[in-house]
């Protein structure tokens, strides 16, 4: 019995809106206010939560909630409140006109990893069916696109191969590039508990993060040297005969070419490059390779590099030579950031794939979708979000951007560049629940319902499809994203004469989901709303009696040959190297108390626990550059400067400054550079050259 | 886990250096012992000696069953009056194994702990003018061991290990039982630990003698520790243990020093070949004597009893199979190894701590089965002039004299009436002594010593004390007895009502 | 593995090996009272309300911490057990503010408890002032009976950060923090899993406390 001070009007079971773990929660509501959040039993969170999910939902009630549609009739005018019809007509009309003038590829649609599966499906359908462009993407571009690129080309699947329930049965757990206890705290606690219960925990991370303290073996590698470390581990396993020969022979291809590519990666070489003693690399390799079941978990520390795909590929290669795939407790497990980033990808909110990761480049695929939607499908490849923003202002560049729940000013790299680009747009539609940093640039503002005000499904990091339910009514005239997008679809279909506008008449999210099931029977055929009321389900779940597959690749990989591909993962230096006036490395990331651009977390009680930006500086660097703990400091890169409070700590290694990117007023992404991974187009968030200046130094000195 | 240094010795070192513990000391100790700071802080806030403020000078009147029967209130009033004038704080401290010497005083200054016994009211008054009581003592006087006793004699040469089967067989044949009070057959524990397959096993010597009225282990540790170590080493070899921890009651500084000296000597002589040996300073609380709580305190946690099963024989110290035996038991074991089961059975030696209203209080080695009256007579007591004996200790019972004079003091006979010899304490009370005052002291003792883990004990013992202070009887009190005895997690709470219940039943005629 | 047959209050139970008597009793709809046990924490055998009698065994044993064995005959409700539980519940209610702990209040009724018959409280519990040292939850220890679920959830049981210490002894034992620091200065990560497992409402979300105070 829960000891309550206040009897709730109702208790609504739903899913936490923060990270990809997808914790199941009960929201206690009184007078349209959430006053208590309790974790539900069972997977994935087993009765546990973190501070964000439990105490960070204040944004639902924040005065910055958008309540009315707004339009800016011409550039320079004020935003003015209008009816939904007027706003939608205005937006659709402008979009249609730009499409007519410059072609459908002049429009860009940014879907949202915070929105439901149904809403993501509709957003990409809006682009592909109603407008006729593959110009749709979402923020996974900025987080795990490197992982999905590597996983897709090697294994044919772009999700966690195993599940969070298996954490307890791995005898070795390797975590790299993930500050799990802060970014996926519930999983972080589960991993720590597994380590206490006897699992051997290896953490490869430059920072002394929480998990490093809990690890039996901590490999403190230099930033940006991941591919060498994992390449050397794999090479050592093969060379010492400790690799899984049978697995490599039966289930992989490309060994010879890969083997040549790691020829130089001896333990001694790896020690020289990574700074990790060869002995420790050897022990890590032996533990990992020798385990009955060893799992790898990783996140942005691997992916957000100009060579992020190579980093992820190095992990894939390691797992393949060790045979740590296709069995319980093993696997390649990218921890997804946003609550529904898995779903956004699954639903095809990506420029290169339709829902179900069906390639847009494949003619047969396009034919299928044409048949399903009754409109011709575009052949031009879509732009990634990063490419789209680069193109703004160019002759054949993007002229209109429709943002659903996305705030590029805080999340995109090289922020001043982004601001300039937004100003050049002919049309910017901001559809969000809150006034975010991009809001002032909007020509159309569409107030959206939050996760607590609508029905739908989220898919968490381990492919679990979960129902969300409304707790109360949206504020003012705010409407669910699915409704807004469907309204836009009706109008655009009519204006652009693409299909029937009636095709956009959805009774509700369940009707959208039924269309998804119909389109992707192998993935979702067995997952219906009725079943989700009673059962825990994950994809792939092809029929109504399937419980969903937990361990992927037990029999074959999802590649044409059924075999996994070992691919060279050459280590490349970072795009910008420290030296001269910028002797330090800047790495950016998250802290426990905040989320992404801070739009949600900074409008909740979380802000009270962590109100201002702190950068981690090693004591030796602090001394060298005259910085004191708790004092303000300037962090300066070739692109700009920000001020923050110095946190002098050996959490961060010497030579590396760590800055969270949640703070719009001191945006870490003013410092980062617009260098991109050639495969995934992910920006280099984890490596930029900077210097420190004690505050009091005149800002006028300027960057560079 | 068992490779990091132990927490309590680290805290003790910091305490010795500074006189109290600063946060930095606790943090450093936690780091070195590789335990969470939260756990180190639990230890600091559990064991009384870990002060976090510079200590005041304190005069502590020793509160035990003997002094309770002899005008505790008057002595306390004197002390309370005198202490402030000597710029000291008046307090009490529970039984220090000094029952045979009469009322005792502890003066605590910094980390220094000086013991004076016996003290008179006049001595306490004199404290006000800066005069210390005349009789300071470091150890129990050696001559407190009265008469003959094989356990009083050095065991020379120390016995060789006769092999596990032979040793355990002899212990079994000798009928040795756990003499810390539980009276569990020793050979069974030996067999149980021996039967466990484990890479590490331990022997722990329980020298945490804190049961009021008992001081025989203290005497052994202070004056004859070698046979105890010998018994521990033999037992370790028999069960296949690789290390011995000798846990000495926290307040017994001299005993600790002498046990450690004996260890060093035996270590140097090669007697411990292949065995790691440690002398461990106990936490300084009654509950530390409970075997699983004792293990917790070695591991650096709050000394709270564990749930059983698993028993220490299966999962004891650091989760490994562990033999925990009392000091006296191991001395007996060594003697059995040296002289054989038959010689042992002929003597059936048992140490008794006899105090109170007898002429020659002290430690006596008497054959098991000696009648209670005979034991008292041996100590110069006259059963016909006595009204009662508290047998066992605080966790014991009052026996009515002369009714019980013929009761044989052995393992079985007292059970018939629901009593037990326990560790062998006999506290005699002459006619006219206020047994309720004694019972009240005992109830206060349990309330003070409850660890706080299980609800019946932590909630019930203070209410038991309040009820005894009110001299309450009746069905409601019986319900409290039941809740404590049947509900408590460990022997402390279970035994808490025994003394007062025996008092009510035997001396009040409430039930017959 | 094969099932373990035993009898609970006259019902035959086919229990799973390794299951506790508490689990086994639940299988036949027998709800043994307990306030310290929680599925997610290692706290067991503290409150002693769940002690049950097993035929042939001496003292009653805690059902939450005793594994099933074949052919046990278990009684969960006897006069002696009821008397024992009544006393523990009465003392609990006497010493602790159970205003929000409807679960324990229900047990007080079930065992016809009369806390007032024990006179005045002896523990200092009820005088403890609420601690509000963080933006997320309140620690109102007047309502705490030291079941230690929070302490275990914070450490071994769930979170593994160890921001709580049990301090003091006897009826003065209470959850505290390392070095008595305010929670923000401890390793606390404010996951609130302590709030989740708290049975008494001593730990409560600040939003709930404020909203409830507004209602008064």
Task: Give the per-residue pLDDT at A157.
Answer: 84
pLDDT of residue A413: 67
pLDDT in tens, B203-240: 999 999 999 999 999 999 999 999 999 999 999 999 99
Q: How many angstroms away from the CA of B487 is the closest CA of chain C?
A: 6
Model pLDDT for residues A587-642, shown as the tens digit of each residue: 988 899 898 878 888 899 999 999 999 999 999 999 999 999 999 999 999 988 99
At B1 the pLDDT is: 42
pLDDT at residue B512 tops 50 = no
Strands A632-637 vs B58-63: parallel, antiparallel or unpaired: unpaired
Q: Length of chain A in residues, anyone?
A: 704
The confidence score (pLDDT) of residue A139 equals 85
Chain A residue numbers touching C208 (CB-CB < 8 A)? 4-6, 28, 35-36
The whole-number pLDDT of residue A679 equals 81
Q: Which residues of C touch B452 (CB under 8 A)?
A: 146, 166, 168-173
| Whole-number Å distance between alpha carbons of B47 and B51 | 9
A1 neighbourhood in chain C, CB within 8 Å: 102-103, 106, 199
In angstroms, how far is the first alpha carbon of chain B from the final one?
54
Architecture per CATH, domain A584-701, reads as: Beta Barrel (2.40)
Q: Which residues of C touch A186 (CB under 8 A)?
A: 191
Cα of B284 to nearest chain C Cα, Å? 13
> How far apart are the CA of B60 and the nearest CA of chain C, in angstroms?
20
Predicted complex ipTM exceeds 0.90: yes
The closest CB to that of C60, out of B26, B462, B486, belongs to B486
Q: Residues B136-178: pLDDT tens digits?
A: 999 999 999 999 999 999 999 999 999 999 999 999 999 999 9
For chain A, which residues make up each domain, given as ranges? 10-61, 70-142+340-538, 145-334, 584-701
A279 CB contacts (<8 Å, ≥6 apart)? Answer: none
Touch criterion met for C and A (3+ Cβ pairs within 8 Å): yes
Q: What is the CATH number of domain A145-334?
A: 3.40.228.10
Q: What residues in C contact B458, CB-CB < 8 Å? A: 146, 170-171, 173
What DSSP line would sit under B61-102, residue for residue?
A: EEE-HHHHHTTHHHHHHHHHHHHHHTT-EEEEEE--S-GGG-
Contacts of C211 in chain A (CB under 8 A): 6, 30, 33, 35
Residues of C with Cβ-Cβ distance to B492 under 8 angstroms: none
Examine the pLDDT at B120 and tell me if it is beyond 50. Answer: yes
Residue from C94, C150, C179 to probe the interface with B (highest B Cβ count within 10 Å):
C179
Q: Using CB atoms, pick whichever of C44, C155, C171 lies closest to residue B38.
A: C155
**CA-to-CA separations, C189 to A595, A661, C40, in angstroms, rounded:** 15, 20, 18
Categorize the per-residue pLDDT at A675 as very low, low, confident or very high, splitting at 50, 70 and 90: confident
Measured in angstroms, the CA of C206 and the nearest CA of chain B are apart by 24
Residue A702 has pLDDT above 50, yes or no: no
pLDDT, one tens digit per residue, over A408-464 is: 887 776 677 888 899 999 999 999 999 988 999 999 999 999 999 999 999 999 999
pLDDT value for B72: 93
Which of C84, C118, C119 lies at the smallest CB-CB distance from B486?
A: C84
From C165's Cα to the closest Cα of chain B, the distance in A is 5
In A, minimum Cα distance to C100 occurs at A3
Asked if C208 lies within 8 A of A46 by C-beta distance, the reply is no
Average pLDDT over residues B377-381: 96
Q: Establish if C194 touches chain B: CB-CB under 8 angstroms.
A: no
C75 has a chain B CB within 8 A of its CB: no
Domain C4-77 class, CATH top level: alpha beta
**Type and span of the H or E element at B10:** helix B7-18
Cβ neighbors of C13 (< 8 A, separation 6 or more) are: C5, C6, C7, C24, C25, C27, C28, C68
* pLDDT recorded at residue A254: 95
The chain C residue lying nearest B484, using CA atoms, is C84
Pick the closest to residue B508 from B184, B264, B500, C137 (CA basis). Answer: B500
Distances (CA, A) of C135 to A8, A505, A681: 22, 45, 40
> Is domain A70-142+340-538 in CATH 3.40.190.10, yes or no?
no
Instruction: Give the pLDDT score at B371.
Output: 97
Which of B458, B462, B465 to substitute to test the interface with C, most C CBs within 10 Å?
B458
Please provide residue A188's backbone torsions phi and psi, each rounded to the nearest 5 degrees: -55, -45
Q: What is the fold of C125-215?
A: Alpha-Beta Plaits (3.30.70)
- Which of C147, C142, C121 lies closest to C130, judged by CA? C142
pLDDT average, residue stretch C33-56: 95
Question: Do residue C196 and residue A39 have CB atoms under 8 angstroms apart?
Answer: yes
Min Cα separation C21/chain A (Å): 21
> Do A55 and C205 count as a contact with CB atoms less than 8 A apart?
yes
Average pLDDT of chain A to the nearest whole number: 93
CA B505 to CA B403: how far, in whole Å?
14
Strands (E), A503-572: 537-538, 564-565
* Alpha-carbon dihedral A570, A576, A577, A581, rounded to 10 degrees: 180
Chain B interface residues (partner C, CB cutoff 8 A): 23, 26-27, 36-42, 45-46, 285, 302, 307, 447-456, 458-463, 466, 476, 479-480, 482-483, 486-489, 494
Taking the C-alpha atoms of residue B76 and residue B92, their distance in angstroms, rounded to an integer, is 8
The residue in chain A having the minimum alpha-carbon distance to the alpha carbon of residue C155 is A193
Inter-chain touch A592–C184, beta carbons under 8 Å: no
pLDDT digits (tens, 9 = 90+) for B12-51: 999 999 999 999 999 999 999 999 999 999 999 999 999 9
DSSP state of B158: P
SS (H, E, C) B196-248: CCCCCCEEEEEECCCCCCCCHHHHHHHHCHHHHHHHHHHHHHHHCCCEEEEEE
Cα A188 to Cα A335, A344, B308: the distances in Å are 11, 24, 32
Among chain C, residues having any CB pair with chain A shorter than 8 Å are 39-40, 100-103, 106, 134-137, 156, 158-160, 184, 189-193, 195-201, 204-209, 211-212, 215
Taking a contact as any Cβ pair under 8 Å apart, which residues of chain C between 13 and 72 contact chain B? 36, 44-49, 51, 59-60, 62, 65
The pLDDT of residue A699 is above 80: no
Q: Percent of chain A beyond pLDDT 70? A: 98
For residue B288, which of B490, B484, B62 has the smallest C-alpha distance?
Answer: B490
Q: Which DSSP helix (H) or strand (E) runs through B440?
A: helix B435-449
Chains A and B touch each other (3 or more Cβ pairs < 8 A): no
| Rounded CA separation B208/B221 (Å) | 11
Q: Prior bond to B70 cis, omega within 30? A: no
C130 touches chain B (CB under 8 A): no
Which domains are delineated in chain B?
58-137 (3.40.30), 145-344 (3.40.50.11540), 348-430 (3.10.20.600), 435-507 (1.20.1440.230)
Instruction: Tell me whether residues C171 and B450 touch, CB distance under 8 A.
Output: yes
CA–CA min distance A319, chain C (Å): 28
* Contact between chains at A48 and C195 (C-beta distance less than 8 A): no
Cβ within 8 Å, pair C199-A28: no
Nearest to B463 among C59, C118, C169 (CB): C118
pTM for this model (two decimals):
0.94
Structure tokens at A422: 């937004």
- List the structure tokens of A502: 């009636």
Tokens, residue A144: 């795990």
The tokens of B428 are what? 């005699």
Work out the pLDDT band at A696, boundaries 50, 70, 90: low
What is the CATH number assigned to the segment(s) A10-61? 2.20.25.90
Q: Give me A119's structure tokens.
A: 């809403």
Tens-digit pLDDT profile for residues A113-141: 999 999 999 999 999 999 999 999 998 77
* Distance, CA of B163 to CA of A495 (rounded, Å): 99
Chain centre to alpha carbon of residue A600: 16
Q: Which two tokens stand for residue A673?
A: 């550079």
**B463 and C91 in contact by Cβ < 8 A?**
yes
- CB pairs below 8 Å between B and C: how many? 140
Query: Mutation test of the interface with chain C: which of B486, B491, B496, choosing the one with the most C Cβ atoms within 10 A?
Result: B486
Gap from C138 CA to chain B (nearest CA, Å): 20
Binary contact (B41, C62; C-beta < 8 A):
no
Q: How many CB pairs under 8 A join A and C?
A: 110
Phi, psi (5° rounding) for residue A343? -65, -40
Mean pLDDT is lowest, of A143-157, B71-85, B429-443, for: A143-157
Mean of the pLDDT values across residues C55-64?
95
The closest CB to that of C193, out of A30, A48, A593, belongs to A48
Q: Is the CB of residue B449 less than 8 Å from the CB of residue B94?
A: yes
Q: What is the pLDDT of residue A701?
A: 44
Q: What is the mean pLDDT of residues B68-76?
A: 94
Contact B37 C173 (CB under 8 A): no
How distant is the Cα of A476 from the closest Cα of chain C, in angstroms? 23
Asked if C162 reaches chain B (Cβ–Cβ under 8 Å), the answer is yes
Of A269, A206, A179, which Cα lies nearest the Cα of A232? A269
| Closest CB from C136, C158, C209 relative to A55 | C136
Q: Would the pLDDT of C159 be above 90? A: yes
**Where exactly does CATH 3.10.20.740 map onto chain C?**
4-77
DSSP A127: I
In Å, how far are A569, A670, B158, B184, C67 from B190, measured between CA atoms? 60, 71, 20, 11, 25
pLDDT digits (tens, 9 = 90+) for B475-486: 999 999 999 999
């Amino acid at each position: 019995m829960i000891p309550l001070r206040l009897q709730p009007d109702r208790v609504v079971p739903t899913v936490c809106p923060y990270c990809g773990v997808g914790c199941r929660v009960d929201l206690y509501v009184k007078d349209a206010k959430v006053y208590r959040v309790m974790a539900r039993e069972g997977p994935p969170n087993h009765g546990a939560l973190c501070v964000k999910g439990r105490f960070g939902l204040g944004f639902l009630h924040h005065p910055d909630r958008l309540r009315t549609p707004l339009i800016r009739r011409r550039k320079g005018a004020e935003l003015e409140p209008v009816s939904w019809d007027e706003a939608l007509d205005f937006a659709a009309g402008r979009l249609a006109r730009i499409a007519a003038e410059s072609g459908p590829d002049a429009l860009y649609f940014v879907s949202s990893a915070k929105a439901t599966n149904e809403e993501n499906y509709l957003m990409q359908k809006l682009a592909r069916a109603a407008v006729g462009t593959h110009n749709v993407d979402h923020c996974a571009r900025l987080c795990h696109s490197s992982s999905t690129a590597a996983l897709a080309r090697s294994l044919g699947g772009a999700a966690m191969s195993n599940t969070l329930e298996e954490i307890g049965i791995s005898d070795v757990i390797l975590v790299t590039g993930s500050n799990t206890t802060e970014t996926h705290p519930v999983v972080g606690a589960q991993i720590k508990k597994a380590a206490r219960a006897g699992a051997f925990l290896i953490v490869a991370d430059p920072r002394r993060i929480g998990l490093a303290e809990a690890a039996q073996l901590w490999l403190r590698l230099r930033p940006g040297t991941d591919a060498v470390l994992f390449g050397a581990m794999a090479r050592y396993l093969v060379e010492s005969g400790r690799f899984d020969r049978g697995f490599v022979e039966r289930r992989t291809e490309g060994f010879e070419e890969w083997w040549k590519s790691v020829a130089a990666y001896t333990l001694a070489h790896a020690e020289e490059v990574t700074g990790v003693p060869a002995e420790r690399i050897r022990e890590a390799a032996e533990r990992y390779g020798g385990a009955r079941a060893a799992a790898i978990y990783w996140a942005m520390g691997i992916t957000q590099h100009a060579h992020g795909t190579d980093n992820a590929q190095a992990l894939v290669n390691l797992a393949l030579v060790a045979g740590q795939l296709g069995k319980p407790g093993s696997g390649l497990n990218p921890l997804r950031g946003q609550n529904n980033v898995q779903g956004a990808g699954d639903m095809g909110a990506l420029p290169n794939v339709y829902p179900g990761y069906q390639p847009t480049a494949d003619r047969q695929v396009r034919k299928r979708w044409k048949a399903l939607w009754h409109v011709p499908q575009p052949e031009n490849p879509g732009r990634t979000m990063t490419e789209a923003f680069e193109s703004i202002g160019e002759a054949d560049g993007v002229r209109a951007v429709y943002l659903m729940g996305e705030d590029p000013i805080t999340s995109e790299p090289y922020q001043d560049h982004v601001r300039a680009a937004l100003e050049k747009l002919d049309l910017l539609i901001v559809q969000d629940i809150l006034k975010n940093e991009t809001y002032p640039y909007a020509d159309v503002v569409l107030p959206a319902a939050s996760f607590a005000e609508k029905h739908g499904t989220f898919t968490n990091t381990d492919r679990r499809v979960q129902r969300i339910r409304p707790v109360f009514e949206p504020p003012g005239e705010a409407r669910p994203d699915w409704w807004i997008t469907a309204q836009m679809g009706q109008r655009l279909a009519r204006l652009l004469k693409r299909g029937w506008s009636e095709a956009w008449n959805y009774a509700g999210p369940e009707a959208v989901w039924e269309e998804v099931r119909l389109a992707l029977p192998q993935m979702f055929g067995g997952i219906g709303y009725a079943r989700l009321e009673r059962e825990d389900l994950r994809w792939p779940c092809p029929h109504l009696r399937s419980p969903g597959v937990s361990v992927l690749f037990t029999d074959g990989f999802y590649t044409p040959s059924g075999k996994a591909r070992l691919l060279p993962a050459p280590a490349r230096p970072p795009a910008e190297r420290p030296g001269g006036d910028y002797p330090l490395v800047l790495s950016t990331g998250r802290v426990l108390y905040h989320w992404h651009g801070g739009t949600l977390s900074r409008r909740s009680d979380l802000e009270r626990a962590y109100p201002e930006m702190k950068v981690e500086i090693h004591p030796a660097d602090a001394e060298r550059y005259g910085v004191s703990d708790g004092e303000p400091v300037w962090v300066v890169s070739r692109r700009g400067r920000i001020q923050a409070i110095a946190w002098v700590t050996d959490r961060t290694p010497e030579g590396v400054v760590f800055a969270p990117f949640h703070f719009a007023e001191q945006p870490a992404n003013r410092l980062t550079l617009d260098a991109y991974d050639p495969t995934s187009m992910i920006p280099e968030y984890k490596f930029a050259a900077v210097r420190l200046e004690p505050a009091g130094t005149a800002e006028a000195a300027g960057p560079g | 886990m068992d490779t990091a240094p132990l927490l309590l010795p680290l805290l003790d070192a910091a305490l010795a250096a500074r006189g109290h513990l600063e946060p930095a000391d606790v943090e450093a100790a936690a780091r070195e012992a590789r335990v969470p700071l939260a756990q180190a802080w639990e230890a600091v806030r559990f064991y009384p000696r870990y002060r976090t403020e510079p200590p005041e000078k304190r005069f502590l009147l020793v509160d035990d069953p003997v002094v309770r029967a002899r005008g505790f209130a008057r002595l306390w009033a004197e002390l309370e009056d005198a202490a402030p004038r000597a710029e000291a704080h008046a307090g009490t401290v529970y039984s220090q194994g000094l029952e045979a010497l009469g009322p005792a005083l502890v003066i605590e200054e910094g980390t220094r702990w000086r013991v004076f016994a016996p003290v008179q009211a006049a001595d306490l008054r004199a404290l006000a003018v800066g005069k210390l009581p005349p009789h300071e003592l470091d150890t129990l006087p050696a001559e407190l061991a009265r008469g003959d006793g094989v356990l009083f004699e050095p065991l020379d040469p120390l016995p060789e290990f006769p092999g596990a089967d032979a040793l355990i067989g002899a212990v079994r044949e000798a009928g040795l039982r756990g003499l810390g009070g539980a009276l569990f057959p020793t050979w069974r524990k030996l067999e149980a630990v021996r039967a466990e397959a484990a890479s590490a096993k331990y022997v722990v010597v329980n020298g945490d003698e804190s049961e009021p009225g008992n001081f025989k282990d203290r005497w052994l540790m202070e004056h004859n520790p070698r046979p105890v170590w010998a018994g521990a080493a033999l037992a370790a070899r028999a069960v296949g243990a690789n290390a011995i921890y000798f846990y000495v009651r926290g307040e017994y500084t001299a005993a600790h020093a002498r046990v450690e000296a004996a260890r060093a000597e035996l270590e140097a002589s090669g007697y411990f070949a292949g065995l790691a040996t440690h002398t461990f300073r106990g936490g300084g609380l009654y509950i530390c004597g409970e075997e699983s709580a004792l293990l917790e305190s070695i591991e650096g946690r709050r000394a709270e009893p564990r749930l059983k099963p698993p028993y220490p024989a299966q999962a004891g110290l650091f989760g490994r199979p562990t033999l925990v035996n009392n000091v006296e038991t191991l001395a007996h074991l060594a003697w059995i190894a040296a002289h054989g089961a038959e010689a042992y059975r002929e003597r059936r030696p048992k140490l008794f701590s006899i105090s109170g209203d007898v002429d020659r209080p002290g430690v006596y080695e008497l054959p098991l089965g000696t009648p209670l009256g005979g034991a008292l007579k041996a100590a110069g007591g006259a059963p016909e002039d006595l009204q009662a004996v508290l047998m066992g200790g605080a966790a014991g019972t009052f026996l009515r004299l002369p009714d019980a004079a013929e009761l044989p003091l052995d393992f079985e006979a007292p059970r018939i009436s629901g009593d037990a010899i326990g560790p062998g304490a006999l506290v005699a009370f002459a006619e006219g002594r206020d047994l309720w005052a004694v019972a009240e002291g005992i109830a206060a003792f349990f309330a003070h010593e409850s660890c706080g883990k299980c609800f019946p004990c932590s909630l019930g013992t203070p209410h038991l004390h309040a009820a005894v202070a009110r001299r309450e009887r009746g069905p409601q009190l019986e319900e409290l007895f039941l809740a404590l005895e049947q509900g408590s997690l460990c022997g402390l709470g279970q035994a808490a009502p025994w003394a007062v219940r025996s008092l009510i039943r035997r001396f009040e005629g409430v039930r017959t | 593995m094969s099932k373990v047959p035993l009898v609970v209050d006259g019902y035959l139970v086919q229990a799973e090996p390794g299951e506790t008597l508490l689990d086994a009793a639940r299988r036949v709809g027998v709800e043994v009272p307990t306030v310290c046990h929680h599925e997610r924490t290692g706290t067991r055998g503290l409150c002693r309300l769940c002690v049950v009698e097993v035929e042939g065994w001496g003292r009653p044993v805690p059902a939450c911490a005793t594994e099933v064995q074949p052919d046990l005959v278990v009684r969960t409700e006897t006069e002696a057990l009821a008397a024992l539980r009544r006393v523990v519940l009465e003392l609990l209610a006497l010493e602790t503010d159970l205003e929000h702990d409807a679960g324990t209040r229900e047990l007080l009724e079930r065992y016809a408890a009369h806390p007032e018959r024990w006179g005045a409280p002896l523990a200092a519990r009820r005088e403890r002032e609420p601690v509000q040292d963080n933006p997320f939850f309140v620690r109102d220890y007047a309502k705490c009976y030291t079941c230690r679920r929070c302490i275990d959830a914070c450490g071994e049981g769930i979170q593994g950060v160890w921001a709580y210490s049990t301090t003091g002894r006897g009826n003065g034992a209470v959850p505290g923090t390392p070095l008595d620091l305010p929670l923000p200065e401890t390793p606390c990560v404010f996951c609130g899993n302590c709030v989740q497992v708290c049975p008494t409402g001593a730990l409560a979300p600040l939003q709930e406390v404020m909203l409830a105070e507004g209602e008064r």
